[in-house]
Structure 1
Amino acid sequence: MASASADPVEPVRPARVTGIDKIERRRVALAESALKTLGELGYARTSLREIANNSEFTHGVVHYYFRDKIDLISYCVRYYKTKCAQRYDEVVETAASADELAVGFLAKLTQTLVEETPMHRLWYDLRAQSMFEEQLRDDVTAIDQLLEQMIWRILTRYADLVDGTPTVDAPTAYALIDGLFEQAVVGYAAAPDQVPTQLTDRVSQILPKLITT
């Protein structure tokens, strides 16, 4: 039994949430709510009001946290693609062989193609729109760089596992893999039973050719 003179134990206080943290949490919640609508309707057909009508948030709340449609859509795609890029990190860190890395990478690539096609359609739509909407360009460039770095981590790890070196630079590797993935996203609606296997076969063919041993 503790003595009466023992110092009282102060209760653990929860970490304070700053105003900035609260705003960012709400923006994330809005983004997660908006992504489904954006993926279904695409860039051109989506408005802040349409997003609010398909979520639990009012139009006023959506407009409070995002100044316009471009601000919201850019945030949503950046948020989604950041999570998407990070999902491959475990494969890179845990693969013990080149074959294991390739299998893990391709499994996640086809999984996201099948399960999240609308989000990828939205990204490619947004990237195309950035040629005409200057306000989109900085965000699109940042997302492209994020995805390029993700592909480069996979390729350089693959090279390490076969004691080789990449035969191309990071932008080229990204353009090749992303081009095959975009082609799969476009074709998936017409041939959902065939396209995932085609994507796996094509990336499997090109990946070893990007390495010299």
Structure 2
Amino acid sequence: MTAAEARVDRAEKRQVDKFELRRQELADAALQTLSELGYARTSLREIAQNSAFSHGVLHYYFRDKVDLITYCVRRYKAECVRRYDRIVTDSDTAAQVARDFGAGLAATMAEDGTMHRLWYDLRSQALFETSFREDVLEIDATLQDMVWRIVSRYAELAGAEVITSPAVTYAMFDGQFQQALLHHLAGDPGAGPRLDAAARQLLTMVVPITR
């Protein structure tokens, strides 16, 4: 590559980086409106009215509402995955994995309940909207892998084996989380503690320790 070509390449990369940073900024600004109103009641115009950005700016950086919502959810869920992966790397005992996983699920449900509600809304819409399905399936797969890493680490530290498949394991934990989220959003103060306890119990069920 010549010096001139290298300069052009660097300039193009800077332009891409600036575009992506702007998308992230717009997505972060839109998250509050999206998480409060959900998919059906949110439009790019509605988001613009509740942020400092114009409808035209949003439309320049995102093709449509689907593009914006999937980008937002994908970005948030990626952060969730990084958070739980720290449990895998930082835990030295099975008990620590169970404690941190259960507490982490309860905490994120309480702190980010509206964001998780948006995810479940998006996943439900994918049953009807074909434009969502590929993104939703990909995000769902990353969450399944995340749960499997947690459970596998628990099994490794416990000296036992996981007796359920990755898909079944994920479905069990996800079902508990969604049920707890519904109760939490309904104002049930016991939803968090029950989710914490249920997650720990599920770990012992999918990784039975016989010794």
Taking structure 2 as the reference length, the TM-score comes to 0.91
Q: Which amino acid aligns with 2:96?
A: E
Please tell me the root mean square deviation across aligned C-alpha atoms, in Å.
Answer: 1.2
Matches within 5 A, 1:42-53: 42-53=38-49
- Rounded Cα–Cα distance in structure 2 between residues aligned with 1:40 and 1:61: 21
- Rounded Cα–Cα distance in structure 2 between residues aligned with 1:46 and 1:191: 24
User: Cα gap change, 1:212/1:194 in structure 2, threshold over 3 Å: closer, same or farther?
Assistant: closer
- Rounded Cα–Cα distance in structure 2 between residues aligned with 1:84 and 1:29: 18
Gaps of 5+ in 1: 1-14
> Does structure 1 residue 150 correspond to structure 2 residue 146?
yes
- The number of residue pairs the alignment matches comes to 199
User: Which residue of the partner structure matches residue 77 of structure 2?
Assistant: 81
How far residue 168 of structure 1 moved from its aligned partner, in angstroms, is 0.6
How far residue 191 of structure 1 moved from its aligned partner, in angstroms, is 3.2
Q: Which amino acid aligns with 1:32?
A: D
Offset from partner CA, 1:115-172 (integer Å, 9 cap, x none): 1000000000000000110000011001000100100000000000011111011111
Gaps of 5+ in 2: 1-9
Work out which structure has the larger RCO, using CA pairs closer than 8 Å and 6 or more positions apart in sequence. 2
Choose the corresponding residue for 1:206, options 197, 202, 206.
202
Residue range with higher mean Cα deviation, 81-90 or 147-156: 81-90
Q: Secondary structure at the match of 2:40?
A: helix
Choose the corresponding residue for 1:25, options 21, 42, 51.
21
Choose the corresponding residue for 1:112, options 88, 108, 112.
108
Q: Which amino acid aligns with 2:202?
A: I
| More helix, by proportion | 2
- Rounded Cα–Cα distance in structure 2 between residues aligned with 1:189 and 1:137: 26
Note if contact 2:184-2:191 (Cα within 8 Å) is conserved in structure 1: yes
Q: Identity of counterpart residues, as a percentage?
A: 48
Note if contact 2:101-2:199 (Cα within 8 Å) is conserved in structure 1: no
> Does structure 1 residue 63 correspond to structure 2 residue 53?
no
- Rounded Cα–Cα distance in structure 2 between residues aligned with 1:40 and 1:46: 9
Runs of 4+ in structure 1 off by over 6 angstroms are none
User: Which residue of the partner structure matches residue 54 of structure 1?
Assistant: 50
Note if contact 2:155-2:161 (Cα within 8 Å) is conserved in structure 1: yes
User: Which residue of the partner structure matches residue 103 of structure 1?
Assistant: 99
- Rounded Cα–Cα distance in structure 1 between residues aligned with 2:95 and 2:54: 49
Taking structure 1 as the reference length, the TM-score comes to 0.90
- Rounded Cα–Cα distance in structure 1 between residues aligned with 2:32 and 2:49: 12
How far residue 85 of structure 1 moved from its aligned partner, in angstroms, is 1.3
Note if contact 2:102-2:197 (Cα within 8 Å) is conserved in structure 1: no
> Does structure 1 residue 121 correspond to structure 2 residue 117?
yes
Offset from partner CA, 1:73-120 (integer Å, 9 cap, x none): 011101111111110111111111111111111121111100100000
How far residue 201 of structure 1 moved from its aligned partner, in angstroms, is 1.6
Q: Secondary structure at the match of 2:189?
A: coil
